[in-house]
A = this chain, B = another copy of it.
Amino acid sequence: MEWSDLRIFLAIARAGTLGAAARSFGQSQPTMGRRLRALETAIGHTLFQRTGDGFVLTDEGSALLAHAERIEEEVLAAQRQLDGDDRQLGGTLRISSSDWFGIHLLTPVFAEFAKLQPRVVIELLTDHRLYSLPRREADIAFRITPFREAEVISRRLMHIEYGVYLKSGFKPPRAGDGAGTPLITMDMAFSDVPDAVWLQRVLPNAHIVSRSNNRDVQARMCGQGAGVAVLPRPLGDGIAGVRRIDLGEQPPGRNTYVGYHRDLKRQARLRALLDLVIERLAN
């Protein structure tokens, strides 16, 4: 049984004749007659009596009419819900990013977005797992490496400068040496990131006192006077009690990329959030 034939049945029941139903439904009279016949055959019951004046519902037809009307209501409810979500940009967006990026750069933008689109729920995931966009583990991802997946649409979002930071009032280390200088750096798994490598090259005699995979942790240790740290400038410049020091050269910056799955290209809420992020952060 074709569910769509129920819609034909509804139209005929309401119009009372095949011709009138055809005209209002936008399909030809013989087609509607045939599809009604197909429905009657599929369902095993005569739904109308055919007269010269039109079609009269049988008892079975009347019973089915009640069901068909409820089905129609459910279809319309579905359409209203989806239209409403679209127009009101309701729904959830799952975002993945690194921790400091999410905390310091994304939250202001998301707070602004929440005021603009109060019905969108943003779920920000900041652990180090690489969330799979194809598997819908995340809808939008911010990464420091370019996206390689074919089904991901991405762009470079911004360039982030890094800086070297030390607690205010502490004596800066000597560039090219660093003896006696405690370092705060990335954890072992990320010890090969460009800024960590750079720091050990510039202060070859310094010693590491603290490792973390969390930039905020590094920043807090630095602020407590534990040592020297390379931090993204958006983060470091905002930490109280630390200053940026000059070691004669700049640490390497990083690009940040944003990507989403191509199947969500036309999703209104994703587009709206992305537009705002780009407007506020892109450089």
Contacts and interface: CB of A to CB of B under 8 A. Distances in A.
A263 B49 contact: yes
A131 to B, nearest CB: 14
Interface string A243-283: 00000000000000000010110110000000000000000
A50 B85 contact: no
Contacts of A151: 50-51
Contacts of A48: 263
29 contacts: A1-B75, A3-B6, A3-B71, A4-B4, A6-B75, A44-B83, A44-B86, A45-B86, A46-B264, A46-B266, A49-B134, A49-B263, A49-B264, A50-B263, A51-B134, A51-B151, A53-B135, A58-B136, A59-B85, A60-B85, A64-B78, A64-B82, A67-B74, A67-B77, A67-B81, A70-B74, A71-B71, A71-B75, A74-B74
A233 interface: no
Interface string A50-75: 11110010111001100110110011
Contacts of A49: 134, 136, 261, 263-264
A13 B132 CA distance: 20
Nearest to A55: B263
A199 to B, nearest CB: 40
A108 interface: no
Nearest to A66: B78
Interface of A: 1-7, 43-46, 48-53, 56, 58-60, 63-64, 67-68, 70-71, 74-75, 77-79, 81-83, 85-86, 91-92, 134-136, 151, 261, 263-264, 266-267
A90 to B, nearest CB: 9
A153 to B, nearest CB: 13
B59 A91 contact: yes
A189 B5 CA distance: 50
The list of the 6 closest CB pairs from A to B, nearest first, reads A67-B78, A3-B3, A4-B4, A49-B263, A3-B4, A51-B134
Given A46-B266, A71-B75, 19 more contacts: A1-B75, A1-B79, A3-B3, A3-B6, A43-B79, A43-B82, A45-B82, A46-B263, A49-B134, A49-B136, A49-B264, A50-B263, A58-B267, A60-B82, A60-B85, A60-B91, A64-B78, A68-B78, A70-B74
